[in-house]
Amino acid sequence: MPSEFGNELRRDPLLGYQVVVAEGRENRPQQWKATIPPPSAMRCPFCGGHEDATPEELLVLPAGLVRQSDQFPWEVRVVPNIYPSLSPAFPESLPVRENTFYPSIPASGVQEVIIESPEHVTSFTGLSEHCAKMTFQAYQMRLNAIRNAGHCRYVQLFKNNGPAAGASLEHSHSQLMATRWVPAVVDQEIDASLAYFQRHGQSYWSDLIEREMAAGERIVHADENLVAFCPFASRMPCEVCILPRHPQADFGHANSALLEQLALLVRSLLTQIEKVLNFPAYNYLIHTMPFDTFPADHYHWHVEVLPRVTVRAGFEWGTGLYVNPLSPEQAAQILRQSS
Ligand SMILES: [Zn+2]
Ligand SMILES: [Zn+2]
């Protein structure tokens, strides 16, 4: 709970970003619950039967000819993103401008879309168990394929669901962006994890799990393989972090039983979040070790689930602070009760 003196400024123990937990006594979750936008009427390019509206698949699941659906010969498709913000070329030598006043490198990389069902499902929570599991298998298969291709250093897997979370199509899908550089946030996580490891002789992430399990007040779910909790410096209401209980830096190395369990946990946590926050837009993202980071004992892959019911406005842009109207302790309690 925020301190007895009122609002509390919290600092993320790893990255140091700051959050004002501004939980007014009179505030009730319904005051900032989402409003649901009207459904779109356009012809959906991701629906089964409209495969000609997207480029040829990079991956189709289930593999082989095992048909799980009576209607369509696929359940998850991965296609190139036709509106990429990274250029798809990988020139041998890069025109790099470093050590100049205005440094730059070419923004080249890979962008893909993971279509999670042939049915017009509008949230990950509406997917069948089978499609949810295959979506996470597709994440890992594409990540490992890009690693093997050798052009990129990092793969960011993420989902935008709902216009407020940056989705332009409502059909449930995720995205993959692979870059030739390690993005700043991931770089900071890796650096800060390494610094913690050197200072304390053990992994930040293992310590984090131990402390959260001991405290219990921010835990939403825990079993022998996975733990989900609302982070101490949650940036938004019902933010959830999911970690494997056993140290593992590379999401590409998670075994398929763990992947399937993770997919179902993400689906059930999002179902709880939709119940509590009235179907908000949301993002989730998977942070994993860059391909060229060795050793990485100090790092854990993890999933960050970010419900989008608050907006970054002038104060937040000006100061870099986040303002969160719901403490993570209360959020965890509400989420636990909603399961
Ligand atoms: Zn659709
Ligand atoms: Zn992270």
**How many Cβ atoms from other residues are within 10 Å of residue 317's Cβ?**
9
pLDDT at 71: 63
188 CA → ligand 1 middle, Å: 37
Distance CA 319, CA 36 (A): 30
Q: Is residue 100 in a domain?
A: no
Helix locations, the chain, DSSP H: 129-149, 184-200, 204-215, 256-277, 314-319, 328-338
Q: Is residue 29 in a domain?
A: no
Residue 181, pLDDT > 50, answer: yes
Q: Is residue 40 in a domain?
A: no
- pTM score over 0.85: yes
Q: Is residue 97 in a domain?
A: no
Question: Higher model confidence: residue 31 or residue 53?
Answer: 53
Longest dimension (CA), the chain: 63
Strand partners, 173: 115
Its domain, for residue 167, covers 8-22+46-81+105-338
Residue 298, pLDDT > 70, answer: yes
Over residues 98-125, the mean pLDDT reads 89
304 CA → ligand 2 middle, Å: 6
137 CA → ligand 1 middle, Å: 21
**pLDDT of 221-235, one tens digit each?**
999 999 999 999 999
3-state percent helix, strand, coil for the chain, nearest multiple of 5: 30, 20, 50
Q: Is residue 237 in a domain?
A: yes
Beta strands in the chain (DSSP E): 8-11, 18-21, 59-61, 76-80, 109-115, 154-161, 173-179, 219-222, 226-229, 240-244, 282-287, 302-307, 322-324
Q: Is residue 32 in a domain?
A: no
**pLDDT of 148-161, one tens digit each?**
999 999 999 999 99
**How many Cβ atoms from other residues are within 10 Å of residue 224's Cβ?**
8
At 238, which CATH number? Answer: 3.30.428.10
Residue 108: which pLDDT band, with cuts at 50, 70 and 90? Answer: confident
175 CA → ligand 1 middle, Å: 16
Q: Is residue 94 in a domain?
A: no
Question: Higher model confidence: residue 85 or residue 227?
Answer: 227
**Number of compact structural domains in the chain:** 1
Q: Is residue 99 in a domain?
A: no
